[in-house]
Amino acid sequence: APYLGDSEKDVANSDAARGTSSSPDSVPQPDEEEPSKKNRKKLFFILGGVAALAVVAAAVAVPVAITQTKKSSSGSSSSSSSSSPNTGTGNNDHPTSSGPTGAVTGGDGSVITTEKGTTFTYVNKFGGTWYDDPNDPWNNNAQAQSFTPPLSQEWDYQNDPMRGVNLGGWLVPEPFIVPSLYEPYMNATPRAQDEWTLSLAMAADTANGGLNQLETHYDTFITEEDFAQIAGAGLNWIRLPIPFWMVAKLPEEPYLERVSWKYALKAFKWARKYGLRIQLDLHSIPGSQNGFDHSGKGGVGGQVNFLVGPMGLANAQRTLDVIRVITEFISQPEYTAVVPMFGIINEAQATRIGDDQITSFFAEVHDMIRGITGTGAGKGPWIALHDAFRGLSAYNDFLPGHDRIALDTHPYLMFGAPDRSPLASQVNKPCTQWASGMNSSWNNFGFTLAGEFSLGVNDCGRWING
């Protein structure tokens, strides 16, 4: 199987995270025995009350009420110890982003020196502390805020408020989030409207760097300072959309293979440093799970070739392989505290795939993941399942006795008839339109979250609808 390695600690020193890299610590490696592997948006969740909060990277956070979990077998996630053993194959001499005096921890007002040599002041009025010791790279003592458990403590999903943000547009560049990447190729043939066509256009544009333009985007769109600001804004979770070609792709697929893995490792490192937890989310699926641009190949009139279509079953198997490889990596004890949740497929479209097909696939993924991790708190990540646009109530009786499944829904106000009422009346809509369904799902299914949402009331932004 493709091997993701077991360390982010030296990736800051490495620019070799390419498909040809020989470093297992930096990038996934393909398995020659498996020829099949030769080969929206970004507003996360808050659980707790109802409020809007604008933050870094196109984010808004709104709480939703929490009630008692019924069906999940465990209500908390075990963190790795504050200093997990190093089982990686790399060395420990990665550059630290500590203060100029060599400090390995600090709070509000401390000065951070990044791996690139730049500095910024850590601003956190909520009692948060960062921690980064090159001699103890797996230390989980960082705490995003005084009211958030440090990574060294278990997260209580029934009582700890989850306040989060999506890093949309970073490792899965979507046209409406990063239009500047797509605008130069509006007249290309084919016109850039998803990452497939964007990759084709960029690869042909050698004068401007070819596909390396994407790595420039990865390197600059989100930086360490953004993670520090997320903690400073009072948020404690990040939802990180990732593409399947982060692990492997087929030769005929034009994507920039595996390079984004280098930046996922940076995300894990920075999250550990600032006490943030990550929900990893597999946004792009072989064949496309919905025909939308964020699936990798979609846009206007996009086709679905996952579980249905001429390569539907083959692409479903490829997806299982990707999920397996990622699960094996993030279930290592060094990462369980930093990545305690894994969204396996973003917004599969059940109306085009079939209800039975998608729920059967979800059940198979659950069994595969728990076959890898074992069952019970601390044994691998929570599994987040998007409702596939079926509605939360469709899952009331899904997979009784499951082990740590979270049901994910993406409520939006903008995709429907425009509402021109004053903003003051709009802000109550999460309570009047979403709260009842969320509370019912908590009672009837179990842990339910809004992995994406927005208080935007119209879809007037460029390319929001593709």
Q: Please identify which of the residues 8, 195, 215, 347 carries the catalytic annotation.
A: 347
Asked if residue 187 lies in contact with residue 204, where contact means CB atoms within 8 angstroms, the answer is no
120: left (phi over 0), alpha (psi -120 to 50) or beta: beta
Q: Pick from 260, 328, 314: which is nearest to 286 by CA?
A: 314
Q: Please identify which of the residues 8, 224, 257, 452 carries the catalytic annotation.
A: 452
What is the CA 223 to chain-centroid distance, rounded?
15
CA–CA separation, 168 and 233 (whole Å):
17
**Phi, psi of 113, rounded to the nearest 5 degrees:** -110, 120
Residue 347 bears catalytic tag: yes
Which segments within 22-142 are labelled E, that is strand?
54-55, 59-60, 76-77, 105-106, 111-113, 119-121, 130-131
CA–CA separation, 435 and 447 (whole Å):
14
Q: Which stretches of 415-457 are DSSP H helices?
A: 423-426, 429, 435-444
Question: Cis bond leading into 149, ω under 30°?
Answer: no
Cross-strand bridge partners of residue 60: 54
Q: Write down the residue that tokens 């691998």 correspond to.
A: 380
Asked if residue 426 lies in contact with residue 457, where contact means CB atoms within 8 angstroms, the answer is yes
What amino acid positions are annotated as catalytic residues?
347, 452
